[in-house]
Amino acid sequence: MKILVAGFQHETNTFAPSKATYESFVRGEDFPSLVRGGDVFSLLEVNIPIGGFIKHVQAYGHEVLPVIWAGAGASAHTTKDAYERIAGEIVEAVKRQNYDAIYLDLHGAQVTEHLDDGEGELLSRIRTIVGQGMRIAVSLDLHANVTDRMLDLADVVVAYRTYPHVDMAETGARAAELLLHLVSSREEIHRTARRIPFLIPVNAMSTMLQPARGVYDLLEEEEGAVLSLSFAPGFSAADFPECGATVWGYGNDRQAIERAVTRIYQHIVDGESEWKVEFEDADDAVARAIDIASTAERPVILADTQDNPGVGGNSNTTGLLKALIRHQAKNAAIGLICDSKAAAAAHAAGLGAQISINLGGCAEVPGDSPLSARFHVEALSDGKLVYGGPMMNGKQADLGPTACLRIEDIRIVVTSAKAQLLDRNMYRTVGIDPERMSILVNKSSVHFRADFAAIAEEIIVVKSPGPFLADPIALPWKNLRDGIRLGPNGPSFKASTHTADANVSA
């Protein structure tokens, strides 16, 4: 076969301060930079779905027709310009080229300035061109807000099963297996889907921990009797009616697939209280980290989850940094603080210089402000590195001019471009050896665990002020579906009045 392939990924936090422009996709930010045509093959060794898909189908002798791959770091809405330019390229290729099937590497949580469901709209435009006979396979992020439109318009849809996402390429291969089966089989394939009646906090979704680990173990157990099962816990920061978690699957036996999906659904619902997350504030977390570090041989890691650029933060709040200074933390490091002006000042002053600057600060976060202080320029870098950990292994990154600034015994990785701190090489690029630090503050929610859990004495999730409210109950929702609970055992959303009413049950 000839299989047309394309990728378009964005995770949208509709409450975040900054939008994803076309340039965001060109740069890639947390993702590889935008590539077209044959250059898509340069991604084969990067841990992303399209690479796993292409390698799998090529191994069976099929031909791949690559169109484009574009991804941008999580943020507020994708601009209309960016969406239409990238989606437009994919749709034009669908019109122009000759092929036998289609594969799309999508995220599943893209909201644009003009569309609630970016993926569903793209699939609709494609289906209008190719008709019902063309087979379309889609892979989605674990954080997809899976819509009815996505499931109805694609023939098969599969999602990641790990968070941190270490199985992205593997998921692409699973999508390939399903597509090849679909094309070769004459049996009717049935689909069943069920929506979870409560929003799940992002920090509860880590598959390195319970209860998420248990759900995916059950999913794999149940999959023995059906073709495919997926569970997407969703991305609970997108204000539209289909935000939330979904379980779905495919099988030749309608009753078998319904039983499997219902068992997983019931397992999640019965354990609703287990999905609740306890957070610590900055001062309590730093004080506890200092106490643990006093006798530990490995670093204590604090996750600055509410300023995670992987969920829409700008990676520039200073709450945890100021707490480290207040408590006189020793042998500590924090990253990344994205502040291009501060990085430029450090490079202009030179290695070993002392500079007095205003560092960081997010104006959109009440109470957050720059840190005005004198810093020692301890290291300088061009910000170019290759990820070495399990998440995005092999990805080339460019953080722009980067510096290590030291204040007292605290080292700060200051970059010109924002990125989630999920790989140890992001510290090493400015000479910080993460294994030798007593305390590490990572602006990340969960992805850092893939590369840092093995070196951590303890991990503490911190609720320091930031643009991403980690507890979905605290968000100013307006457009959710009626009755969904805003968190595990939380109040229910009352769509008719745009209010959350704790007395209304889902």
pLDDT recorded at residue 503: 37
Kindly tell me the burial class for residue 415, based on how many C-beta atoms sit within 10 Å of its own C-beta (0-12, 13-18, 19 or more): buried
State CA 426 to chain mean position distance.
18
Cα–Cα distance for residue pair 379/413, rounded to 1 Å: 9
HEC per residue, 409-465: CEEEEEECCCCCCCCCHHHHCCCCCHHHCCEEEECCCCCCHHHHHHHCCEEEEECCC
Residue 394 is predicted with a pLDDT of 87
Per-residue pLDDT at 500: 40
Instruction: Summarize pLDDT for 294-346 with one digit per residue, the tens.
Output: 999 999 999 999 999 999 999 999 999 999 999 999 999 999 999 999 999 99
Write out the H or E segment, with its range, that includes residue 101: strand 101-106
Q: CA quadruple 420, 426, 427, 433: dihedral positive or negative?
A: positive
pLDDT score, position 498: 53
Check residue 30 and give its pLDDT.
87
10-residue stretch averages of pLDDT, the chain, 506 residues long: 98 95 95 96 95 98 98 96 98 98 98 98 98 97 98 98 97 98 92 98 96 98 95 98 98 97 98 95 98 98 96 96 98 98 98 98 94 98 96 91 98 97 98 98 97 98 94 96 97 73 36
* pLDDT for the residue numbered 495: 80
Summarised one tens digit per residue, pLDDT across range 117-164 is 999 999 999 999 999 999 999 999 999 999 999 999 999 999 999 999
- Do 463 and 306 touch, CB atoms closer than 8 A? yes
Whole-prediction pTM value?
A: 0.93
Q: Beta-strand (E) ranges in 293-362?
A: 300-304, 332-338, 354-359
- Relative to beta strand 135-140, strand 156-159 is parallel
Q: Which domains does the chain have, with CATH numbers?
A: 1-184 (3.40.50.2300), 188-277 (3.30.1370), 282-462 (no CATH)
Which of 20, 47, 11 lies closest to 423, judged by CA?
A: 47
The answer to whether 158 touches 230, Cβ cutoff 8 Å, is yes
- Per-residue DSSP letter, 32: P
